[in-house]
Homo-oligomer: A and B are copies of this chain.
Amino acid sequence: MKNICIDLGGTNIKAGIIENDQLLYACNGPSMSDQSFLKVMNSIEKMIDEMMKKTNSMPSEYGGIGLCMPGIIDVDNNKVLAINAKHEEASSFNFNAWAQDKYHLPIVMENDARTALVGEWQHGEGRGVNDIVMMTLGTGIGGAAMINGKLLHGKHYQAGCLGGHFTINVHGDQCNCGNIGCVESQSASWRLKELIAKAKEGHTLLNGPQEIDFKVLFDLVREGNQIAKEVIDNILKVWSAGIVNMIHAYDPDVVIVSGGIMNSKDIILPFMKEWVAKYAWTAHHSVDIKASTHTENTALWGINYLVNDKYFKKINDSVQ
């Protein structure tokens, strides 16, 4: 079955037509998070129009629409329950009516970290494994958990998604999630300047000639800069403690870490693996820590699988 797959992010919208594990056509657009959500949806409609035109197809040829986005998603009723400020009008948008009215198609929605996990499970670093934890290191820190081949959702669709907001320092800093000392508040890119300022001699980095982001910081570590190393080591501890908590919570065989930051996996992965081997409780097994290697369209593959699973039960037997 051929599906229309949309990955609505904070900065970009990715869209693709997927049929029988083939990405037939893909396109990108800005997510226009400064504009009304109706305009965002108009932009998605234009991308769908373009894809249909270029592939010379009509809505009736499709099985369904899959849409993933950040936030807490009611996957039974296709409602956005909570989302950050960028797309807050999405909470009152009727996605079922939109898909039915515009295309006469069913729609499947899911949180984007969960679809990334499903994409990795089907086509990436999670192939052949049914117990997976995903940690997404971006502006914020997200997560998802799969147990025995099933995504964990929980009563209010929050389970698995809030790994970035596990407390890892009860004496730590306020997060914009409301919690204190959670993984995100102690390590996310939006906290980076403050975290550097707190480090011993951190001001020498901040007062230097260049803007400091994670890429610059990791490059400084590779050059042997001790202040950058102190800042990064503290952040690696926080991420690793977050992974230990995800392992203790969900008992996976593999933890997949994704995000542009993983371009520095040469530094990140050895630290995480050593920390987990040392501190995680695993009675008679070990947990593998991997970097996501198929980040570009992972979420599209994931949402495509979920559309097929919900409406067409096209389940890949090899992983059952």
Q: Which of B130, B165, B169, B280 contacts A179 (CB 8 A)?
A: B280
- Give the distance to chain B from A71, nearest Cβ to Cβ, in Å: 9
Q: A156-B251, A156-B285, A170-B169 in contact; A180/B279 too (CB < 8 A)?
A: yes
Contact of A281 among B162, B169, B280, B283 (CB under 8 A): B162
Give Cα distance in the complex from A244 to B165, angstroms: 9
* A55 contacts chain B at the CB level, 8 A cutoff: no
Whether A244 and B279, one on each chain, are in contact in the complex, defined by CB atoms closer than 8 angstroms, is: no
**Chain B interface: which of A30-38, A92-100, A146-154?**
A146-154
On whether the beta carbons of A283 and B170 are closer than 8 Å, the reply is no
CA distance A180 to B275 in the complex (A): 10
In this assembly, does A177 line the interface, its C-beta being within 8 Å of a C-beta of chain B?
yes
* A179-B279 CB under 8 A given contacts A166-B166, A251-B159: yes
**Interchain CB contact under 8 A, B180 and A281:** no
Q: How far is the CA of A72 from the CA of B82 in the complex (A)?
A: 36
Inter-chain contact B251/A167, CB cutoff 8 Å: no
- Does A209 count as interface, using CB distance less than 8 angstroms? no
B72, B148, B167, B177: the one contacting A241 at CB < 8 Å is B167
A303 on the interface (CB 8 Å rule)?
no
Cα–Cα, bound, A179→B130 (Å): 26
A279 in contact with B147 given A237-B170, A249-B249, A253-B155 (CB within 8 Å) = no
**Known A131-B155, A156-B285, A281-B178: A244·B72 in contact at CB below 8 Å:** no
Within 8 Å of chain B (Cβ to Cβ): is A293? no
A264 to chain B, nearest CB (A): 20
Known contacts A167-B241, A248-B162, A248-B166: A284-B156 contact under CB 8 Å: yes
**Residues of chain B with a CB closer than 8 A to A53's CB:** none
Are A81 and B283 closer than 8 Å at their CB atoms?
yes
Q: With the chains together, A148 CA to B170 CA distance in Å?
A: 30
Q: Return chain B residues, CB-CB under 8 Å to A168.
A: 167-170
CB of A319 to closest CB in B, whole Å: 14
A109 at the interface (CB under 8 A from B): no
List 5 other contacts, CB 8 Å, given A155-B251, A156-B251, A158-B251: A130-B155, A147-B155, A158-B282, A162-B248, A170-B241
Cross-chain pairs A/B with CB under 8 angstroms, 7 sampled: A153-B251, A155-B251, A162-B249, A163-B248, A169-B170, A170-B241, A181-B241
